[in-house]
């Protein structure tokens, strides 16, 4: 006959260990549920915790990318609006120059047109020196001061840097934050004038000087104006493309953010349905073992022997 | 016929009384720690017939041969061995959890990400004073968290070493006690209740010792014990009535080693593999490793930033000054903020001119940081620590289950079963009553004989 030897203290010890274990398990699941998070410390799931850390890092970088993208969008929109105004100005000067090229014009009338052109050119210089959202020169690249400086004679010279600089949009993508003045106002090498502002100065000076050369100057000016308008509309296209690129990366970022938050929930969130079910199961077992412990513990031979 | 019915009855009653006493003792000690159930061993007293009296009946009753202690040496050794393993794993996991908390809850990782983010934000507008101030504050937070992590790790180490020192004192006290028990055991009479109590004490001391260190025991014929610590090949700790002294040495990196002196000419190094002391030593080794890696990350981060700073110019067109102080080499504890004004951040490359919005040097700094990748290194460190904790926790739980099993199995064999004792009470009470009846019968017989006229 085999006998299972057991002693009173062994019975109590075993029961208390079992019940304490069940209790600890139930409490752990309850904590998971109330936190909504499966991972309280990294050691609960080292791989998951590391993944969550990387996701939160990507998330916080993405927040900064959003701010940068918004900044780039605003600056590019400012640039776009300014370019639109530039185009309007050039169109208006084209009208005036076409009038001036007419042989029936008197010198006085031409001088008036020249004065108006000079005035519009002044506006264009001011527009070229407008500021971006950060307070820097919108068309000055990375320089701190104005994009164009004018000397006493009224000649405008570009004072900014060669490029506008890039803004990171996240995931290694960049966008050039704007245009420099020289990128859309300067004419290619070999042209009659170095840039549009110089050509306008030549034109308005000649018209105001009057004489036989004025009409010819107006005719010459028209081709320079055509070229200037071409460059401005090309620049508008470039800016529009960059805006579209920023939009594209923003869309991509949004979908990536969604993916990340999905993954965060999958990796770190508590699966409520299954946790509740397991909790219920544990509670049932715990209740049963408590009940059976009470029954067994009250069974003593001493109470039966009289 | 040399039997004496009255004395046989008396011996039976006496034996039943002793058995009842032992049963009562068992019941009283049912929940005493380290108490091993006793039982009585009874022996018949009789003599065979001598010359000329072959066939004679010579019965003299019963006598107590000894009090038996129902201890199983193997199960006791198992309890000590598994208990030492579980105590080691317990101490190691507790130490490692503290290391994990020190690194994780100091939020170094988040602060590093914050600093990285502030630099990225500055690219958007390199001359903005508020964004520059933001970088300085993020750097300040990061320096603070590095310092906190270093301090927390140091205090974890101090705590572990303090506990280990206390453990060493306990081991020495228990060993001294064991040596005294050895002395008394050598003098105690065999199978006396004095000896059984001493044996209980001996086993209980051994079990307490095994919580601190792994012990190898040799039980001698006179029940005294010879004790080695750190396994069977370890140094002798208790022999006969003399005990050695365990001492702890702390190395420069905070790790600890042990040695026993007293019983050997020179202190013998003890390589502990079980018990809380071994667990603490293992946790301290991991702590030293984590601390060194944290220092390495602080050095990589501060070194990359300072080098890049030196290559650029500030908006005031001055050469960039170091952002961090306290090195090189930088450690997590020594790291400090050197620049306190955001205007000192060298965002522009050399030659860009004053107030340049060129972020060339800032981008170079970010690239250098990206290449050194201290943030990734921090993630790897956290992963390593937490992975170690998780792995050790699994081991700890397994060892604990095994130790609990061994404990319960020893209890089941050596502990008191109240039901069995209740049965024994009834049995010996009946034996006592029966012996009384024998004496009654003897008296009746005498009365019968005396009544003959």
Q: Which residues of A touch B119 (CB under 8 A)?
A: none
Residues B299 and B340 reside in one and the same domain? yes
The answer to whether the CB atoms of A165 and B358 lie below 8 A apart is: yes
User: Is B351 inside a domain boundary?
Assistant: yes
Residue B217 per-residue DSSP state: E
Chain A environment of B71 (Cβ under 8 Å)? none
Q: Do B412 and A161 touch (CB under 8 A)?
A: no
B64 and B95 share a domain? no
pLDDT of residue A1: 33
The predicted structure's pLDDT at residue B284: 93
Which tokens is B67 given? 């009090």
Assess if residue B121 is contained within a domain.
yes
Q: Is the pLDDT of residue B169 over 90?
A: yes
| Same domain flag for B35 and B156 | no
In terms of domains, do B102 and B186 share one?
A: yes
ipTM field: 0.75
Asked whether residue B64 falls in the same domain as residue B90, the answer is no
Query: Which of 3.30.450.20, 1.20.1330.10, 3.10.580.10, 1.10.1040.10 would CATH assign to domain A52-264?
Result: 1.20.1330.10
**Domain span holding position B18:** 5-70+415-450
A137, A142, A147: best to mutate for the B interface, most B CBs within 10 A:
A142
Question: Rounded CA gap, B269 and B103, in Å?
Answer: 33
- The pLDDT of residue A179 is 85
Same structural domain, B325 and B194: yes
Q: Which residue has the tokens 């140094």?
A: B235
User: Quick check: B418 and A136 CB within 8 A?
Assistant: no
Distance of CA B34 to the CA centre of its chain: 19
Average pLDDT score over chain B = 87
What is the model's pLDDT at position A240?
92
Residue A42 host element (H or E): none
Measure the CA–CA gap between B7 and B13, rounded to whole angstroms: 10
Q: What is the mean pLDDT of residues B212-229?
A: 87
Q: Say if residues A120 and A228 touch (Cβ distance below 8 Å).
A: no
What's the total number of domains in chain B?
2
Q: What is the pLDDT of residue B1?
A: 43
Q: What is the pLDDT of residue B293?
A: 92
Smallest Cα distance from B364 to chain A, Å:
13
CA distance linking residue B56 with residue B261, whole number of Å? 66
Q: What is the pLDDT of residue A45?
A: 85
Within 8 A of A305 by CB-CB distance, chain B residues are 422, 425-426
Bridge partner list, A150: A156
DSSP tag of B343: G
CA distance B158 to B169: 17
Q: Are residues B62 and B96 in the same domain?
A: no
Q: pLDDT class for B180, splitting at 50, 70, 90?
A: very high
Cα–Cα distances in angstroms (integers) from residue B234 to residues B228, B258, B305, in the given order: 6, 11, 51
**B316 and B349 housed in the same domain:** yes
Determine, yes or no, domain membership for B233.
Answer: no
Q: Which of A10, A17, A67 sits opposite B121 (nearest CB)?
A: A67
- The alpha-carbon gap from B120 to the nearest alpha carbon of chain A, in Å, equals 7
Distance from CA of A8 to the nearest CA of B (A): 5
Residue B48, number of CB atoms within 10 A of its CB: 8
Of A224 and B144, more confident: B144
**Is B193 in the same domain as B342?**
yes
Mean pLDDT for B66-73 is: 82
* Partners of residue A10 in chain B, C-beta under 8 Å: 408, 411-412, 415
Task: Answer yes or no: do B117 and B190 share one domain.
Answer: yes
Q: Is B118 contained in some domain? A: yes
State whether residue B398 is helix, strand or coil: helix
Residues of chain A with confidence (pLDDT) below 70: 1-5, 306
A interface mutation test: which of B71, B135, B357, B375 has the most A CBs within 10 A?
A: B357
Tally A–B CB contacts below 8 A.
Answer: 146
Looking at the structure, tell me whether residues B93 and B20 fall in a common domain.
Answer: no
Element (H, E) at B426: helix B418-450
- Rounded to the nearest angstrom, the minimum Cα separation between A304 and chain B is 10
Cβ distance A144 to B355 less than 8 Å, yes or no, reads: yes
């Amino acid at each position: 006959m085999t006998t299972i030897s057991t002693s009173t203290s062994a019975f109590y010890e075993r029961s208390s260990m079992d019940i304490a274990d069940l209790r600890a398990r139930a409490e752990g699941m309850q904590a998971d549920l109330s936190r909504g998070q499966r991972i309280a410390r990294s050691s609960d799931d080292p791989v998951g915790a590391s993944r969550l850390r990387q996701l939160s890092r990507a998330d916080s970088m993405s927040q900064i990318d959003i701010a940068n993208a918004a900044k780039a969008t605003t600056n590019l929109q400012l640039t776009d609006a300014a370019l639109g105004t530039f185009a309007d100005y050039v169109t208006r000067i084209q009208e005036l120059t076409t009038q001036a090229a007419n042989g029936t014009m008197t010198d006085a009338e031409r001088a008036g047109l020249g004065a108006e052109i000079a005035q519009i050119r002044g506006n264009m210089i001011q527009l070229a020196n407008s500021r971006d959202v950060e307070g820097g020169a919108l068309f000055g690249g990375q320089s701190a001061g104005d994009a164009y400086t004018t000397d006493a004679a009224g000649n405008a010279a570009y004072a900014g840097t060669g490029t506008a600089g890039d803004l990171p949009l996240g995931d290694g993508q960049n966008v050039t934050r704007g245009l420099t003045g020289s990128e859309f106002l300067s004419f290619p090498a070999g042209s009659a004038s170095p840039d549009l502002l110089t050509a306008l100065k030549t034109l308005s000076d000649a018209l105001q000087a009057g004489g036989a050369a004025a009409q010819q100057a107006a005719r010459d000016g028209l081709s320079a104006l055509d070229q200037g308008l071409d460059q401005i509309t090309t620049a508008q296209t470039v800016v529009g493309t960059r805006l579209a690129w920023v939009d594209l990366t923003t869309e991509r970022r949004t979908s990536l953010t969604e993916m990340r938050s999905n993954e965060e929930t999958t990796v770190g969130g508590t699966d409520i349905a299954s946790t509740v079910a397991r909790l219920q199961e544990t509670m049932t077992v715990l209740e049963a073992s408590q009940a059976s412990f009470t029954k067994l513990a009250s069974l003593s031979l001493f109470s039966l022997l009289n | 016929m040399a039997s004496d019915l009255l004395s046989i009855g008396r011996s039976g009653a006496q034996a039943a009384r002793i058995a009842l006493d032992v049963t009562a003792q068992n019941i009283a000690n049912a929940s005493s720690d380290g108490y091993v159930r006793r039982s009585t061993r009874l022996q018949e007293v009789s003599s065979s017939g001598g010359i000329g009296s072959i066939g004679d009946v010579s019965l003299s009753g019963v006598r107590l041969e000894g009090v038996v202690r129902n201890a199983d040496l193997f199960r006791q050794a198992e309890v000590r061995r598994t208990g030492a393993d579980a105590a080691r794993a317990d101490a190691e996991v507790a130490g490692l959890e503290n290391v994990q908390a020190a690194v994780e809850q100091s939020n170094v990782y988040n602060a590093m990400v914050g600093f990285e983010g502030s630099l990225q934000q500055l690219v958007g507008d390199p001359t903005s004073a508020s964004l520059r101030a933001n970088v300085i504050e993020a750097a300040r937070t990061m320096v603070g968290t590095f310092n906190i992590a270093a301090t927390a790790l140091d205090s974890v180490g101090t705590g572990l070493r303090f506990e280990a020192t206390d453990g060493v004192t306990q081991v020495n006290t228990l060993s001294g006690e064991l040596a005294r028990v050895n002395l008394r055991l050598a003098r105690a009479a065999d199978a006396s209740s004095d000896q059984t109590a001493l044996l209980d004490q001996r086993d209980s001391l051994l079990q307490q010792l095994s919580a601190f260190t792994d012990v190898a025991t040799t039980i001698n014929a006179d029940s005294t014990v010879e004790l080695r610590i750190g396994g069977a090949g370890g140094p002798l700790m208790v022999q006969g009535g003399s005990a050695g002294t365990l001492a702890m040495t702390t190395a420069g990196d905070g790790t600890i080693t042990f040695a026993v002196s007293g019983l050997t000419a020179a202190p013998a190094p003890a390589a502990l593999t079980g018990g809380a002391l071994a667990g603490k030593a293992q946790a301290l080794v991991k702590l030293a490793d984590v601390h060194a890696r944290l220092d390495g990350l602080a050095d990589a981060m501060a070194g990359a930033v300072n080098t890049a700073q030196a290559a650029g110019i500030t908006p005031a067109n001055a050469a960039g000054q170091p952002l961090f102080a306290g090195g090189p080499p930088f450690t997590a504890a020594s790291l400090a903020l050197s620049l306190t004004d955001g205007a000192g951040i060298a965002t522009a490359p050399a030659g860009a001119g004053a107030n340049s919005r060129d972020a060339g040097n800032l981008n170079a700094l970010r690239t250098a940081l990206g290449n050194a990748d201290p943030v990734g290194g921090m993630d790897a460190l956290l992963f390593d620590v937490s992975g170690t904790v998780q792995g050790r926790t699994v081991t700890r739980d397994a060892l604990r289950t095994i130790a609990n099993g061994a404990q319960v199995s020893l209890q089941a064999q050596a502990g008191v079963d109240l039901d069995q004792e209740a049965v024994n009470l009834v049995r010996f009470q009946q034996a006592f009553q029966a012996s009384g009846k024998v004496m009654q019968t003897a008296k009746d017989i005498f009365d019968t004989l005396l009544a003959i006229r």
